Amino acid sequence: MSENLLQHIVSPTDLRKLEISQLPQVAKELRDFIIDIISKKEGHLGASLGVVELTIALHYVFNTPEDLLVWDVGHQAYGHKILTERKEKFHTNRQLGGISGFPKRSESAYDTFGVGHSSTSISAALGMAIASQLKGENKHHIAVIGDASIASGMAFEGLNHAGVTDTNLLVILNDNAIGIDPSVGALKNYLTSVKEGKNPKQNNMIKSLNFDYSGPIDGHDLPKLISELERLKKVKGPKFLHVITTKGKGLQLAEEDQVKYHAPGKFDAKTGEIHPKSEENLPMKFQDVFGLTLVELAEKNPKIIGITPAMPSGSSLKFMMEKFPERAFDVGIAEQHAVTLAAGMATQGMVVFCNIYSTFLQRAYDQVIHDVALQNLPVIFCLDRAGLVGEDGATHHGVFDLAYLRCIPNIIIFAPNDEIDLRNILYTASLGLKHPIAIRYPRGRGKIPNLKSQIPNLKFLNIEIGKAHLLKKGTKVAVLSTGFIGNNVSLALDKMKNADAIAHYDFGFVKPLDTDLLDEICKTFSKIITIEDGAIKGGFGSAVIEFASENNFKNTIQTLGIPDAFVEHGTVDELQKICKIDVESLVEIFEKQL
């Protein structure tokens, strides 16, 4: 049996001491290492398995970290991390206090740019290349971008600029025909035809942007990859290499079901079989409540449309895409387009549900303001993954939406306390509103067991816009919560002996606020506590403080939520504890107020 090579590789310097003939063995060992750890610890599997050879080739040919390598999104960077001095720490991936699941500048000199959202790599690498030119430095700058990410507008903006420079930039297209879900759109069809050799003349699409185009080549053929990268090192100006890979390469089940194995949870390292999780009696996932409710509503209303930017599985819009394919659209990684497309449809009287993860709506902020709110178009934004999302960390937490939406005129903001609230606000919005609305709900499961079996007997209720309500009476302190985090308040109060002193109010609407009830609360209680799973600065608590100030109330108001810092990765429970919005922390805070 041959000696294990990976155990002797700490950094790319060690990798470069090997013969090219030894690298396929390193590739096999690297895949086995990733599979072994991720099978136990969970994480993004398929993308990293797909670029093992490309990762090895890049660090073998280029003098990283002096040569600057940028990974787009970063789902695929596990091999990169293992080869760049983090092999011994890799088992801590995505855990509290451990290494990040994405490239992160503060973690390593080899992580030249922090990523997590897509389509940033070309602009970032071009910025680095121009800076190197200005400083008179002779470096290589490489952006590795997937076929789903390159279809995004920002990637085209980067290509457009790069093509009129003479910078030392290499863009590598990692083409595996899938992002998290299968890639979509005309560009995907173009790339497929190039791969199949059906229209080689159309290679000019990249060439016409003044890039030196080469490929497509097999991204799993190490000698060929290394040879081509060595050639490209000598080519001046912007270059483009088209590489074909298979997501999940090396684990048969991951190759066969690339959507499921993007982030499969725990699985058997030898067979790839995913460990089954019992879902019996568990509450539904909020995303499924959204997806199935939308189908229910769309069955009755032919004007209902669903839109998602590349998240049909993650948002559960897939249910509507299966039932009403002509009225449900996956527009690819194109949040700006998704929002303005929804706005255009709304001008024609369509009832448009635009489902975007909270963290990704940040990418379309101008469109929300200029194309929707300014024109007062009743687009229904469904913001999945609002609040703390857990192990994906700072790039993915949906904690800024309350603050960045609350300042926009015309927009309604609602956070359901539970799954029934979510169903009812979706129903209410489908009846027609006079303003746009943002409905924010968390990642993961709700709180109602066996809801799916109850749905056929549930009647929809029309929710009164801007109305808050009392959940529990109290005498001394008023706790005002918004959204699902309010359930932590209820659980905390259940644990307290002196809970009678605390009143609990559910403010589902952060905008418009229920000012009548708020006025009554401010007159009744000298102490008020607000709680949200969003940024404290500018969020729901800030809205309450503004109201009190404007109306000359002198209440003591304590705001709880996400502090003024980027929250790193860990489980949701761990992160709630750090932010002091977990059940135990709330018990302590409430008792102090009494």
The strand ranges marked E within 287-408 are: 304-308, 328-330, 351-357, 380-384
Rounded Cα gap, residues 94 and 101, in angstroms: 5
- Cβ atoms within 10 A of the Cβ of 434, count? 9
β-pairing, 351-357 vs 412-414, is unpaired
The strand ranges marked E within 5-160 are: 68-71, 141-146
Give Cα 206 to chain centroid, integer Å.
29
- For residue 476, give the DSSP letter: S
Rounded Cα gap, residues 586 and 526, in angstroms: 19
Catalytic residue annotation: 247, 335, 363
Q: What is the largest CA-CA distance in the chain?
A: 80
Helices 121-135/153-162 angle, 10° precision: 30
Q: Both tokens of residue 310?
A: 């590349």
Q: DSSP string covering 226-280, please?
A: HHHHHHHHT--S-EEEEEE--TTTT-HHHHH-TTTTSS--SB-TTT-PBPP---T
Q: Both tokens of residue 591?
A: 């008792």
Rounded Cα gap, residues 570 and 2, in angstroms: 38
Rounded Cα gap, residues 39 and 367, in angstroms: 40
- For residue 398, give the DSSP letter: B
The strand ranges marked E within 128-237 are: 141-146, 169-175, 212-218
Distance set, CA 81 to CA 67, 159, 171, 474, 570 (Å): 16, 27, 20, 53, 18
Residue 585 identity (one-letter amino acid): S
Q: Is 538 left (phi over 0), alpha (psi -120 to 50) or beta?
A: left
Residue 572 identity (one-letter amino acid): V
Residues 6+ apart with CB under 8 A from 511: 405, 406, 411, 412, 413, 543
Rounded Cα gap, residues 344 and 379, in angstroms: 10
Helix (H, G, I), strand (E, B) or coil at 330: strand
Contact 113, 103 (CB under 8 A): yes
β-pairing, 169-175 vs 141-146, is parallel
Q: Is the CA virtual torsion 23, 217, 242, 251 positive or negative? A: negative
Contacts 24+ apart (CB under 8 A), 469-472: 469/505, 469/506, 469/517, 470/503, 470/504, 470/505, 470/506, 471/504, 471/505, 471/506, 472/499, 472/502, 472/503, 472/504
Rounded Cα gap, residues 137 and 523, in angstroms: 66
Residue length of the chain: 594
